[in-house]
Amino acid sequence: MFGDLLSWWARQMTALISPIIKRSPARTPDALLVRREQADPDTLHLSHRRKGQVAHIGTLRMDGEPGRSRGVFGARRRGEPLVLSLSEPLLSRGTTLPLAAEANLERVLGYEMDRLTPFGVGDVFFTYEILKRDRAKGQLSVELALIPRTWVNAMLNRLTEEGVQPPRSRRRF
């Protein structure tokens, strides 16, 4: 119960701070960036983002031999997040939920995924943004954004072959 309260409070504080962080590119966290473009879907472009600066570190062929590019990832810091930049469009839709759903919104959206979309929760990566809280009506307006796992599985598998562990999150991106 207390853990749920702390999680809710942290989400509230993050929502207040996030507009400030979004305006400041220097505050973006360090990460390994992996980009795939529609013009060349067989090549992954790799970059490091450190202290707000992005530096290209190499490319990785989707059809390449496993383990050949491990040196490219050698400068990745332990625990540094992996950020995938996809040319595929995100699917999104708005929905209205009871205000009480906010306490466990990720879980509620996961449970409702097959009602809200043609996908099951295990078939997608998803995120959300709270658009509006209407306390008078007891409603929460949410924008749900998702991408089917099948669209990114080949890329995630290729990174795993190179020893880069993609995020284990089943739901969020």
Identify the burial level of 109 via C-beta atoms within 10 angstroms of its C-beta, where 0-12 means exposed, 13-18 middle and 19 or more buried. buried
Confidence of residue 16 (pLDDT cuts 50, 70, 90): low
Q: Is the pLDDT of residue 170 over 50?
A: no
Task: Give the DSSP letter of residue 171.
Answer: S
Q: Which two tokens stand for residue 117?
A: 């979309």
Q: Is the pLDDT of residue 55 over 50?
A: yes
Task: Give the DSSP letter of residue 158.
Answer: H
Domains and CATH numbers, the chain: 2-87+150-161 (no CATH), 91-149 (3.30.1490.300)
Task: Give the DSSP letter of residue 122.
Answer: G
The per-residue pLDDT for range 88-140, each reduced to its tens digit, is 667 889 999 999 999 999 999 999 999 999 999 989 888 899 999 999 999 99
Report the pLDDT value the prediction gives residue 114, as an integer from 0 to 100: 92
pTM of the full structure: 0.61
- Between 83 and 173, residue with greater pLDDT: 83
Using alpha carbons only, what angle is made at residue 131 by residues 49 and 147, rounded to the nearest 5 degrees? 55
Euclidean distance between CA atoms 167 and 169, whole angstroms = 6
Report the pLDDT value the prediction gives residue 51, as an integer from 0 to 100: 82
